[in-house]
């Protein structure tokens, strides 16, 4: 069965959708992501959809549901990389994606998540990037 990889970075999960999204794959992602949130106790989820050229109403609803489920489980969600054509299609379909926070790219999405999660996410990001200060122990 095809699955979308979910990477853990500190207290965040990163999902990069690199394949055409079909209904079953979207449902599998929803299940996998909610399970990972409960297993890892992460506080943030970043979903990169920059490779998606088409998002239909079902996929749009699933993205909205993922964000709502993540929030109920204690994690904030940011969707990044939405193509202009996808945004136009979603608006034309009448999908407002209520409750989904968006950013132009992964960097801006990480900044948005970090600001909403506070200092804990910033310190986790510093460790991931290798910017953490040494405690001075020798």
Per-residue pLDDT tens for 61-79? Answer: 899 999 999 999 999 999 9
Which pLDDT does position 82 carry in this prediction?
Answer: 94
For the domain made up of 6-129, the CATH class stated in words is: alpha beta
Domain ranges of the chain: 6-129
Range list of β-strands (E), the chain: 6-9, 12-16, 44-48, 76-80, 101-103
Instruction: Return the residue matching tokens 């407002």.
Output: 96
pLDDT category of residue 134 using cuts at 50, 70 and 90: very low
How far is residue 74's CA from residue 130's CA, in Å, rounded to a whole number? 27
Per-residue pLDDT tens for 99-122? Answer: 789 999 999 999 999 998 885 544
How far is residue 32's CA from residue 49's CA, in Å, rounded to a whole number? 17
């Amino acid at each position: 069965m095809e699955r979308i990889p979910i990477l853990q970075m500190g207290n965040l999960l990163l999902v990069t959708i690199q394949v055409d999204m079909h209904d079953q794959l979207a449902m599998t992602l929803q299940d996998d992501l909610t399970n990972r949130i409960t297993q890892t106790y992460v506080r943030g989820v970043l979903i990169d959809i920059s490779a998606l050229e088409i998002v239909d109403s079902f996929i749009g609803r699933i993205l909205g549901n993922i964000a709502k489920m993540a929030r109920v489980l204690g994690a904030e969600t940011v969707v990044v990389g939405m193509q202009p054509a996808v945004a136009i299609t979603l608006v034309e379909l009448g999908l407002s994606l209520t409750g989904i926070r968006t950013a132009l790219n992964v960097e801006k999405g990480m900044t948005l998540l970090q600001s909403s999660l506070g200092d804990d996410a910033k310190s986790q990001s510093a460790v991931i990037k290798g910017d953490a200060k040494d405690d001075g122990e020798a």
